[in-house]
Amino acid sequence: TASAAPRDPATLATSAPERTDAYWMPFTANRQFKAEPRLLASAEGMYYRSVDGREILDGTAGLWCCNAGHARPQIVAAIQRQAATLDFAPSFQMGHPLPFVLAERLAALAPAPLQHVFYTNSGSESVDTALKIALAYHRVRGEGQRTRLIGREKGYHGVGFGGISVGGLANNRKFFGALLPGVDHLPHTLDLRRNAFSRGLPKHGAELADELERLVALHDASTIAAVIVEPIAGSAGVILPPEGYLQRLREICTKHGILLIFDEVITGFGRVGDCFAAQRFGVVPDMITTAKGLSNGAAPMGAVFVSQAIHEAFMNGPEGAIELFHGYTYSGHPLACAAALATLDVYAEENLFAAAHELGDYWEERIHALQGLPNVIDIRNYGLVGAVELAARPDAPGSRGYEVFKRAFHEQNLMVRCTGDTIALSPPLILNREHIDRIFDRLGATIRATA
Contact positions toward ligand PLP, by CB under 6 A?
Answer: 122-124, 127, 156-158, 230, 234-235, 263, 265-266, 291
Angstrom distance (rounded) from CA 211 to CA 253: 12
Smallest distance from ligand PLP to CB 233, Å: 7
Smallest distance from ligand PLP to CB 297, Å: 10
Smallest distance from ligand PLP to CB 263, Å: 4
Q: Tell me the one-letter amino acid at 268.
A: G
Smallest distance from ligand PLP to CB 159, Å: 6
Smallest distance from ligand PLP to CB 428, Å: 16
Nearest residue to 270 via CA among 48, 66, 63: 66
Smallest distance from ligand PLP to CB 122, Å: 4
Angstrom distance (rounded) from CA 343 to CA 350: 11
Angstrom distance (rounded) from CA 220 to CA 231: 25
Instruction: Decide whether 289 or 412 has the Cβ nearer to ligand PLP.
Output: 289
What's 419-450 look like in SS3?
ECCEEEECCCCCCCHHHHHHHHHHHHHHHHHH
Q: Is the dihedral of CA 138, 143, 144, 148 positive or negative?
A: negative
CB distance 36 to 396 below 8 Å: no
Helices in 141-244 by DSSP H: which ranges? 161-166, 170-173, 192-195, 211-219
Q: 10 Å Cβ neighbour count for 358?
A: 13
Instruction: Decide whether 65 or 313 has the Cβ nearer to ligand PLP.
Output: 65
Report which DSSP code applies to 293.
G
CB distance 141 to 157 below 8 Å: no
Instruction: Decide whether 125 or 378 has the Cβ nearer to ligand PLP.
Output: 125
Which H or E run contains 289?
strand 287-290
**Angle ∠(429,288,422) on CA atoms, nearest 5:** 50
Instruction: Decide whether 215 or 266 has the Cβ nearer to ligand PLP.
Output: 266
Instruction: Decide whether 67 or 122 has the Cβ nearer to ligand PLP.
Output: 122
CB distance 99 to 91 below 8 Å: yes
Instruction: Decide whether 123 or 444 has the Cβ nearer to ligand PLP.
Output: 123
Instruction: Decide whether 82 or 235 has the Cβ nearer to ligand PLP.
Output: 235
Smallest distance from ligand PLP to CB 189, Å: 15
Instruction: Decide whether 162 or 205 has the Cβ nearer to ligand PLP.
Output: 162
Smallest distance from ligand PLP to CB 34, Å: 22
